[in-house]
Structure 1
């Protein structure tokens, strides 16, 4: 039981079995419906215990993350004051249509009608029919943007939900025509201060991407609500990126640290880490793979990184075929034993922000080995780039493998995917 004492959130029960018990964050307790998550472990020692512990830990983090997203969506997409007013207006008109013998212009008759109503919003409009419609707010702009631009894109909806929850934390829900530069700066500063998923400080690039979402929504709202003469205060808002260029610049993961990380991982995380190291792909590109994207029986075994039912891609150039080393093939074969045929290879990460969860789990292990913020899981991608350079791989092949856009029109337009795959495989063999 010595190993058990080293596993966080695990205690020994009276009957000798082990239990994973962990308090649910206060902000997620209401959404989850309980204060504590607990589950008995079937294993008691060795590799089986480590594997089961990792699976339960992942289950806990996935459950909390999903419930938080759901709670944020429910809070964010509720009715705005303007929508509530409009609904009450329609209801009040219906009420008067059903009233006979009373005059809506007579204050006493209005009080008689209002006294029979339960809906406070409708009651207020009956008593004060000249009440003006509330101004359109940031949330009104967001909801219209969602309807017109986001539509059924679940991934984008999750992204703007996360961004907008921070907007509301910073400045609340302000009328569009009252937005000032000061409000925009507060949103920016709040986003910079929030710790990123998995720990550490956000990069300026991440904050800029989040602010671009806010800027797009505000611009859309100003036009759609006929406030075009109002300047969008998020336009031209600066984000200092000096720290990104020096203090937070990612470095390739060194060989010794890579091997120590590999040795510390078990199960799916170990397979994912090996595949990241052997392909140079992004975390989301790998954990979002489905069985139909994997071609182990092909003459040149490869994965096809492409949009699927699990996730989209970052750029058009990210759509690519990547040949697999023997180590990567071995990891995929091990992972496929647990996956449904043709479905997601890692179903626990086949969800909105699933890649964030996988990245956070990997980062948790990496941070036990190094506190240097220049080393992250993305450093495996930088490491792969260095390995490609070290064997003299042509830049166009590097771009092809990493999903970078090539400036060479001939490389982008001409030649079959199969021929490019075979050539890339020849260079991949030099890396092993």
Structure 2
């Protein structure tokens, strides 16, 4: 039995001559094949349409070939919509950009190209010549009852109305600017892995939470092009004053928000600056006294604690942090290729951005000499990494930086209860020890990743700078 020629049933099923069954397949009046499926009622507010229609091809062979991919895409769309509904907790109106996307999908579902001009020249006059477009538009209009007084369709959905207008006009309306909700969806799609594991769910919830707080502060969703600096300050103050979160949390929210908006500005090619760029969070007592360096006795006690209770890789991370002044993420995310020991005068590690781990800023990219116990720790880490490309496989991926930092802090807190002391206090300790040893401020900045390009260039090439930093670190390590 072939696909058959029955028409008109939305949830139709077609049986093939080999006994295969294809659900949601219909044959059009022109004899082509299409996939037509009703959208479940609970997903209509999310997807913004009552049904999904996709072209399968002009022949049965083309339909058979296209069906698996089309069916899978629709299943994926439904799954993502359900995920969105569960995260959001409730439906919301579609944004202008989402409506535009639906229009494009409607065009493509009918086998039409919305970006191709349908105008032809007739005796010097530009005339729209798209009979298929008119046929589809009239077909939609005829599916609705007409008001006998006005001749207008009754109960037409907004999406159908926009689609009909676009068909008759011969072109899509200009792409609208994305809103914060659009930026959030795009960020989730591009930057957050789609999955059901706990970590990915936490990432999605964090992005959802930040955007919700921002839109609450603004009184609703807002186009990115309409968000001004004063709006950004309003959101920042909402984080601090209305939500009552700590300064560190407010700062993290703003960092997330800046990243979400930056991606939208770049990928949607918006001619606008990011209103959240360089927006600071002021707190009581902020400044140099917020954190203090470890004392010698505290470091000694923590070393002893790690030796007795921590795994070897965590002990090695701490030893490297002590001897380099690096940030936790800079060490936990190292590749084995970042370690340079052979055929060089100064053994060192390269702190550079990777796909699995970025850096705080451009100045953070640097090379740091390995001396004394630090060099021994790195060699031991290399030996323990096995076949993994990462120096610390357990802490390299899936927010390994956070896990390493949290694990270290548990040991720190078992020794030091002062809230002004954290893992970062090792960097403060390194800075103080270098200053006390008479190391110049420029070399200190090169070691800690605070040096500007101008500073580094004054000290010659890479080898010269490594030698200077090695001499400085040998004074304190």
Unmatched 5+ stretches in structure 2? 1-82, 111-132, 148-152, 167-172, 194-199
Of 285, 290, 296, the residue aligned with 1:249 is 290
Q: 1:303 aligns with which of 345, 349, 355?
A: 349
Instruction: Check the 8 A contact 2:178/2:264 in 1, yes or no.
Output: no
For the residues of structure 1 that align with 2:319 and 2:244, how far apart are their CA atoms? 27
Using the TM superposition, give the Cα deviation of residue 317 of structure 1 relative to its aligned residue in structure 2, in angstroms.
Answer: 3.1
| Alignment check: 8 A CA contact 2:215 2:222 kept | no
The separation in 2 between residues aligned to 1:394 and 1:427, in whole angstroms, is: 9
Which position in structure 2 is the counterpart of 1:431? 476
Q: TM-score under structure 1 normalisation?
A: 0.60
Task: Give 1:398's match in structure 2, choosing from 444, 447, 452.
Answer: 444
Displacement of 1:345 in angstroms is: 0.6
Residue in 1 that maps onto 2:336: 291
Once the two structures are superposed, residues 355-384 of structure 1 have per-residue CA deviations (whole angstroms, 9 ceiling, x without a partner) of 222212212222232332211101000101
For the residues of structure 1 that align with 2:160 and 2:446, how far apart are their CA atoms? 66
From 175, 190, 193, the equivalent of 2:239 is 190
Structure 1 residue 175 corresponds to structure 2 residue 222: yes
- Count the aligned residue pairs: 337
Q: Which residue does 2:145 correspond to in 1?
A: 108
Question: What is aligned with 2:79?
Answer: none
2:305 corresponds in structure 1 to 264
SS at the partner of 2:368? strand
TM-fit CA distance, 1:285: 1.4
- Mapped partners of 1:407, 1:159: distance in 2: 34
The aligned counterpart of 1:29 is none
Q: 1:334 to 1:163 in 2, by over 3 A?
A: same
Higher relative contact order (CA 8 A, sep 6+): 1
Which residue does 2:100 correspond to in 1? 86
Contact 1:188 1:211 in 2 (8 A): no
* Aligned CA distance change for structure 1 residues 423 and 160 (closer, same or farther; 3 Å): farther
8 A contact 2:227–2:275 mirrored in 1: yes
Q: Is the 8 A contact 1:160 1:213 kept in 2?
A: no
1:16-35 Cα deviation digits (max 9, x unpaired):
xxxxxxxxxxxxxxxxxxxx
- Native 8 Å contact 2:97 2:178 kept in 1: no
Change in Cα spacing, 1:152 to 1:140, as seen in structure 2 (3 Å) is closer
* Contact 1:166/1:190 (<8 A) preserved: no
Q: Which has the higher helix share?
A: 1
Q: Is the 8 A contact 1:195 1:202 kept in 2?
A: no
Supply the distance in 2 between the matched residues of 1:236 and 1:427 (Cα, whole angstroms): 33
Per-residue deviation at 1:271? Answer: 0.9
SS at match of 1:239: coil
Structure 2 counterpart of 1:379: 425
1:229-240 to 2 correspondence within 5 Å?
239-240=281-282
Q: Which runs of 5+ in 1 are unaligned?
A: 1-70, 115-121
Instruction: Measure, in 2, the Cα distance between the counterparts of 1:214 and 1:421.
Output: 37
Conservation of the 8 A alpha-carbon contact between 1:205 and 1:241: no
**2: CA distance, partners of 1:221 / 1:416:** 36
Q: CA deviation at 1:125?
A: 4.1
Deviation at 1:210, TM superposition (A): 4.8
Distance apart, 1:347 and its partner CA: 2.0
Pairwise CA distance, 1:79: 11
1:233 and 1:417 map into 2 onto residues whose CA distance is 37
One of 393, 406, 413 as aligned partner of 1:360: 406
Over 3 Å counting, the alpha-carbon distance change for 1:209 and 1:92 in structure 2 is closer
When residues 101 and 277 of structure 1 are mapped into structure 2, their CA distance, relative to the original with a 3 A threshold, is closer
TM-score, L = length of structure 2? 0.55
Pairing of 1:7-406 with structure 2 (within 5 A)? 81-82=95-96, 84-90=98-104, 104=141, 107-108=144-145, 125-126=159-160, 136-142=178-184, 162=206, 165-171=209-215, 174-176=221-223, 185-186=234-235, 188-190=237-239, 202=248, 209-210=255-256, 212-213=258-259, 224=270, 239-245=281-287, 249-265=290-306, 266-267=310-311, 268-297=313-342, 298-341=344-387, 343-351=389-397, 353-405=399-451
Measured on the aligned residues, the alpha-carbon RMSD in Å equals 5.0
Relative to structure 1, the CA distance from residue 253 to residue 100 in structure 2 (aligned partners, 3 Å threshold; closer, same or farther) is: closer
Distance apart, 1:182 and its partner CA: 7.3
* Cα deviation 1:181-214 (Å, max 9, x = unaligned): 6786355433688899xxx851776566456446
